Amino acid sequence: MEIIKYGNPILRKKAKSINKIDKSIRDLIVDMFDIMHNSTPKGVGLAAPQIGLPIQLIVIETEPNKQLSLINPEIIESKGKDTALEGCLSIPGVWGNVIRAKKIKVRGINPNNSKKIILEAEGILARAIQHEVDHLNGILFTDYIEKIEDLCVDEGFVIPEKLRLYYKERK
Ligand code: CO
């Protein structure tokens, strides 16, 4: 499995909700964490559409071994504002400041026991959840960034051609 990169229309599709949680979903979650661990630069979250599956599943690991996976996640409360640098495995090596809610409440299904859960999150975890839930709605972090000049790029990486074009057309 490979991570789908910026410009692929799959990333812009609205993901479908999951109504059957079986072994194949749990295996997929394990694979998604593996993909995340093996990527360069390392990611803290991955959404199923990023591996070509338009289904509502996200995985997050903001701290080593502190794994969170959520099915059909929905943000039901947002409080405050916070700005921080954000990146995405579908746009590797490219970073930009994004304003997000500081604290959130998210509702979803825990794939480990198939039970509904409501989680409260803040800081980097809240940011990661908002970023991944955006993926399920076809939104990428660069959509929030107005100018190409506001992006920073790691050495050895480039801004994808389609993203350059997007900013050119916005002018
Ligand atoms: Co992303």
pLDDT means per 10 residues, the chain with 171 residues, are: 94 97 96 93 94 98 93 98 97 97 98 96 97 98 96 97 94 73
Compute the distance between CA of residue 112 and CA of residue 35 in angstroms, rounded to an integer.
19
pTM comes to 0.96
Count Cα neighbours of 116 within 13 Å in the Cβ-side half-sphere.
Answer: 3
- Ligand 1 centroid to Cα of residue 87, in Å, is 7
Active site residues: 132
- Ligand 1 centroid to Cα of residue 88, in Å, is 4
Query: What is the reported pLDDT for 55?
Result: 98
Query: What is the reported pLDDT for 41?
Result: 84
Query: What is the reported pLDDT for 170?
Result: 82
Compute the distance between CA of residue 153 and CA of residue 139 in angstroms, rounded to an integer.
20
